[in-house]
Amino acid sequence: MSDNQTICAVSTAPGIGGIAVVRISGHDAFGVCDRIFRAAADGVTIATMPANTVRFGQISDGNDPIDEVLVTKFCAPHSFTGENVVEISCHGSLYIQQTILQLLLAQGCRMAAAGEFTQRAFLHGKMDLSQAEAVADLIASQSRAAHRLAMNQMRGGFSNELTILRDKLLHFTSLIELELDFADHEELEFADRSELHQLANEIELKIKHLSDSFSVGNVIKNGIPVAIVGETNAGKSTLLNALVGEERAIVSDISGTTRDIIEESVNIDGVLFRFVDTAGIRQTTDTIERMGIERSFGAIAKSNIVLLVIDAAAVQSTDKQQINKILTEADGKKIILVFNKTDQVTPATLQEIMRAYAGAQVESIGISAKQHLNIDALRRQLSAAAQVPEVGQNDVTVTNMRHYEALLHAHDAILRVIDGLNSGISGDFLSQDLRECLNYLGEITGQITTDEVLGNIFSKFCIGK
């Protein structure tokens, strides 16, 4: 849990850049910074500056100037953290950044813990817990869709949905508990059971819709898993390098070069794909290679899309039994047959090969990974195969595992409420299940939480945010 000390940290990415931003937050933020900052305009101090304004000046250790900087002032409660905040924009030298931090520490600041600025924003009511977690998602977003989901959650789209559900549940819970206060008067019934039944059904559908959206949200946030599989020397690693645009995997003419899975993420048309290059699948007595092949089949099981790479130049020696085994393991997945090394065969031969492998369950494409032929067409095919729904600005999609688990528990609780209403159980049991549903929904937004939960969540943030 945060204390009342004034904290500081570099809020820009680690390393050297054109500029860096040092953030200070706390009740003494203005006083601390005034002791090391001198404005270019005479008589101007951070304490006397108007809120939300910027001043040019110099950071000094009392004797020598350290850097020329811009200082931005935010006054409580109208700041990110809800406290007095100062942001010092300095040059990106690591020496300058560290010297400014040392000066701030000498004036009574302490270094901020991971995520402490956002944690203070939560504790001061600037955002709820799901919005705070969206800050981390926004920083980590690697695609247009993931960015849009994080922005929607930061604006409170998910929170608003949960608030509406909790308010409705809380109303009926209060009425049922009022009935329990008058247990001696059995004829009193404050909560209309038929109305509660209708509400419980409505909430059950809404919670289920939110939890079901996690399968899409998780893919958008973490990327669509794509397994690149096939026989040895089919060109799987070369294909990965072509898709990624760099030499990520070792390429060799020696069969069985790839022994372990190699994973790389690529953004295609605003959607993140996680490509997994796997060991070549063949009959072998090599123990290590067999372990790699087992992992290849494991990658197929975890993937949404399977790129089955076939060497078009050596199709006569292709082990169709192994190909069929791969197709069997990939049953139910989106499968694209990738006929590689098409630069070594004639167009007529390629068409004949593709017709021989044609099937209702698979798509196919001819490429040359080494020559980068038709790679863009494969990317377009992958984008179409992803079938990720377009996320609107107001769409609510669950992307966080913690939220998903809480929704599952809330769904179980509301189902027990519905069963209880159907069987006519007493109000005390209904109240218990309603309260449990409320608690799980409250855990998502932070209305019900513990220091341990908060510590676990904010420890995953970067320093300075």
Answer yes or no: is pLDDT of 91 > 60: yes
Q: How far apart are CA 152 and CA 399, in angstroms?
A: 12
Mean pLDDT score across all residues of the chain: 85
Six token digits for residue 165: 């559900």
The β-bridge partners of 60 are: 65
Coil/strand/helix, residue 226: strand
The least confident of 37-46, 81-90, 404-413 is: 37-46
Q: How far apart are CA 189 and CA 15, in angstroms?
A: 66
Answer yes or no: is pLDDT of 317 > 90: no
Given pLDDT bands bounded at 50, 70 and 90, which one contains residue 110? Answer: very high
Given pLDDT bands bounded at 50, 70 and 90, which one contains residue 237? Answer: confident
Coil/strand/helix, residue 9: strand
The least confident of 179-193, 235-249, 272-286 is: 179-193
Six token digits for residue 465: 């945010």
DSSP string, 265-292: EEEETTEEEEEEE-PPP-----HHHHHH
Judge whether 172 and 418 are in contact, CB under 8 Å. Answer: no
Q: How far apart are CA 297 and CA 282, in angstroms?
A: 12
The least confident of 51-65, 202-216, 318-332, 340-354 is: 318-332
Is the bond leading into 389 cis (omega within 30 degrees of zero)?
A: no
Q: How far apart are CA 52 and CA 402, in angstroms?
A: 36
Q: Residues 172, 177, 179, CA angle at the centre, nearest 5°?
A: 100
Answer yes or no: is pLDDT of 182 > 80: no
Provide the CA 97 distance to its chain's centre, in angstroms. Answer: 29
Q: How far apart are CA 124 and CA 78, in angstroms?
A: 11
Q: How far apart are CA 245 and CA 221, in angstroms?
A: 22
Q: Residues 346, 347, 351, CA angle at the centre, nearest 5°?
A: 120
Q: How far apart are CA 154 and CA 459, in angstroms?
A: 19
Residue 250's pLDDT is: 47
Backbone angles phi and psi of 337, in degrees to 5: -80, 120
Six token digits for residue 440: 């799980």
pLDDT digits (tens, 9 = 90+) for 350-380: 888 888 877 757 888 999 999 999 999 999 9
Q: How far apart are CA 241 and CA 374, in angstroms?
A: 14
Judge whether 71 and 88 are in contact, CB under 8 Å. Answer: yes
State the pTM of this model. 0.72
Closest Cα to residue 220, out of 58, 461, 390, 59?
390
In 10 A of CB 370, how many CB atoms?
Answer: 16
Amino acid occupying residue 370: K
The average pLDDT across 266-285 equals 80
Judge whether 446 and 405 are in contact, CB under 8 Å. Answer: no
Strands 54-60 and 65-74: antiparallel
Backbone angles phi and psi of 433, in degrees to 5: -70, -35
The average pLDDT across 95-105 equals 96
- Which residue has 């004036």 as its token pair? 107
The residue among 54 and 392 whose pLDDT is bigger is: 54
Given pLDDT bands bounded at 50, 70 and 90, which one contains residue 10? Answer: very high
In 10 A of CB 299, how many CB atoms?
Answer: 21
DSSP string, 308-375: EEEEGGGGGG--HHHHHHHHHHTTTSEEEEEEE-GGGS-HHHHHHHHHHT--TTEEEEE-BTTTTBTH
Closest Cα to residue 227, out of 258, 262, 252?
262
Q: How far apart are CA 258 and CA 251, in angstroms?
A: 8
The average pLDDT across 131-141 equals 87
- Which residue has 């209060």 as its token pair? 174
Six token digits for residue 264: 């790389």
- Which residue has 């929170």 as its token pair? 159
Answer yes or no: is pLDDT of 187 > 70: no
